[in-house]
Structure 1
Amino acid sequence: MTFSATGILVVALIAAIVITIGVWAYTTANRLDRLHVRTDQARHALDAALARRAVVARSVATTLSGLGSDPELLDQARRLVALADRAERANWRDREAVENQLAAALSAVDIALLPPQLVAELADAEARVLIARRFHNDAVRDTLALRTRRLVRILHLGGTAPLPTYFEIAERVTPAASTGLDVDTVRTSARVVLLDEDNRVLLLRGCDPKVPDVPFWFTIGGGVNPGETLREAAIRELYEETGYPADSSMLRGPLWRRVAVFPFNGELIRSEELFFALRAKNFDPVPANLDYVERRSINGSKWCTPADIAALDHSGETVYPYHLDQLLDEAVTAADADIDPEVRSIR
């Protein structure tokens, strides 16, 4: 009887282990599938951004060709057209080198010779390439981190899908991407549109330490540190400013891009902001790790409906980004989707 009970216990234990491994393998395989879908979508988005830049490069070449018979300008125009053609025809493995050459050729163009509308189109095309490249590499990094785990490889949970590869192109700040202002700091920021079960967004209330009597409201987020991905920065900022721990795989986006130039704490800052959407259960924010400036500048928080946001704006307490009350439905849709949305520019 004792032996029988022991045998049953051993069988039950083995069965529990097998079931646990099976459940883990199933969920891991599903997660890998989602990661591969995300990587494929990111690659298509990057390809589209690169193709758009090639079209704008041809427009720049046409403009330069029409400025007269200056041999240098004509040579620039011919080189831009040739590189744009090569970039579109190149296979993915060889495309990095060609795209870097095209970026260098575009950065050598004197934008003072171009009409303002074309300068704006070029700046937007260049910014979209940088965003798409970062988004693609973030997706590749997350996929490789899971695919290369020993047990995942042993059980072949990744199936026959090829390992994704990074796309490395130089992130240069070209003249077309500048604002024309002398700024003290240029940074990239990751921001989070955090939504609760009632589709309210968590906003922080703050002020410029140099102008403490002018409050404003803003979404969670901050500057990306060296070596961080956008998603890592978003999760870190979320925890530091609210105490809420989140998994980066739950972020959706970036869905919005905003370029802002503003004074803060005695400096003029140019910030390229990328916004993610994230769903969470309602909680009371408790900052976990604010730095000295943040402790001086952040002084409140509130879960807000679109009506609340409109009321804050009407009261004179500006909400950033602008028109967030009108944008909120878009963030709700993104947060509840299974795939990441296409990034677009907002104010």
Structure 2
Amino acid sequence: MTVLLIVVPLVLILVAWLMATANRLNRLHIRSDAAWAGLEAALARRAVVARAVAATGAAPGALREIADHAENAARYDREAAENELSRELAAVDRSQLPLALVAELVDAEQRVVIARRVHNDAVRDTLAQRRRRTVRWLKLAGTAPQPEYFEIAEPQLSGEVAPVPRSSARVLLLDDEGRVLLFHGGNPSDENDTFWFTVGGGVDPDEDIRAAALRELFEETGIKLADDQLTGPVWRRRAVFSFDGRSYDAEEWFFVATASTTTVDTSGFNQIELDTIDEHRWWSAADLRATTDTVYPVQLAQLLPSLLESEWDGRTRSVR
């Protein structure tokens, strides 16, 4: 009786432990399967975006076929196929792509990186459990296939390789004398990188660029205009630049407006503007041609006279 009182609880404890171990292993296999499904979805989305990139003509001609092969490759061939797609995407000149497509591609690549790490973490935990002696001896894994790591090279996602897409609305604010208002500021990470630039800033998510231009104009100058007082966009500028340690792929849309006053109220500046902008002034075309300072857009001195002399014809022209 004494032996039974000792043995039975021990057997029950052992059975409970084995059941708990088997259940944990089962949950780990489910987690691994779910992580693989998530990784497959991320890879499939990257393939879709890669085909959209190929359709622009800004990528190597074989990109579409490589994306199709990667998406449809068998598991044993998938790593090599996905690595080939990564290499082709890394070779794409992203400055030639529409800004929205750059953002889509960067997001797709980031999701692949995250999904791969989640998958490999799940595989690591599952394999660690399967390698335990008790699990192996008692075959607690049953017939579940052993999960495998997915080893592909991760694309560099630093700012230098994948600039942050940024759409902005800018205003060529003119006074009665045809002078344009420019702010002077600098790059916080480089004290020698200073420049003059027009009124304006980033477009908020789901915000219309005209609405963004009017909002930025009011915030930065205190001048409030109606929508019909804004002309354009007359210019579009695409530029990749670094600011405060990050790289940006900027798409800037320029509107024209005439100010009824030359008094500028900068009390609406945000903290970044307060930290980086030190002065403002009104510039004539002659002033712009004579200065040795850096001015953006760089063609402003050249194009300002024609902007003043003729009415806008409805076309948006690319400028530097």
TM superposition score category, shorter chain reference: 0.5 to 0.7
* Distance (Å, rounded) in 1 between the aligned partners of 2:64 and 2:282: 60
Partners of 1:237 and 1:293 in 2: how far apart?
Answer: 14
- What residue number does 1:291 align with? 270
Contact 2:299 2:319 in 1 (8 A): no
Task: State which of 198, 211, 222 in structure 2 corresponds to 1:243.
Answer: 222
Once the two structures are superposed, what CA deviation does each residue of 1:145-169 show, in whole Å capped at 9, x if it has no partner?
xxxxxxxxxxxxxxxxxxxxxxxxx
Which secondary structure state, in structure 2, belongs to the residue aligned with residue 219 of structure 1?
A: strand
Alpha-carbon shift at residue 343 of structure 1 (Å): 1.3
Q: Which residue of 2 aligns with 1:197?
A: 176
CA contact (8 A) 1:187 1:270 kept: yes
- Contact 1:241-1:288 within 8 A present in 2 as well: yes
Mark the runs of 5 or more structure 1 residues left unpaired by the alignment: 1-55, 77-107, 131-169
Alignment of 1:223-262 (within 5 A): 223-262=202-241
CA distance 1:174–1:252, change in 2 (3 Å): farther
Deviation at 1:280, TM superposition (A): 2.1
* Percent of residue pairs bearing the same amino acid type: 37
Aligned to 2:295: 319
What is the alpha-carbon distance in structure 2 between the residues aligned to residue 60 and residue 213 of structure 1?
35
Runs of 5+ consecutive residues of structure 2 not aligned to the other structure:
1-53, 70-85, 107-158
The 1:254/1:304 distance shift into structure 2, 3 A limit, reads: same
Question: 332, 338, 341: which one pairs with 2:308?
Answer: 332
5 Å matches for 1:1-347? 64=61, 72=65, 123=97, 126=98, 173=104, 181-183=160-162, 185-312=164-291, 314=292, 317-333=293-309, 336-337=311-312, 341-347=314-320
Distance 1:240 1:183, change over 3 A: farther
- Largest Rg, 1 or 2: 2
- Match of 1:295, SS state, is helix
* TM-score normalised by length of structure 1: 0.49
Aligned pairs, number: 203
Gap change, CA 1:282 and 1:311, over 3 Å in 2: farther
CA contact (8 A) 2:220 2:269 kept: yes
Structure with bigger helix share is: 1
Q: Kindly state the Cα deviation for residue 287 of structure 1 after the two structures are TM-superposed.
A: 0.9
- Superposed displacement of residue 310, structure 1: 2.1
Distance in 2, matches of 1:210 and 1:300, equals: 19
* Whole-Å separation in 1 of the counterparts to 2:103 and 2:294: 32
Counterparts of 1:205 and 1:183, CA distance in 2: 28
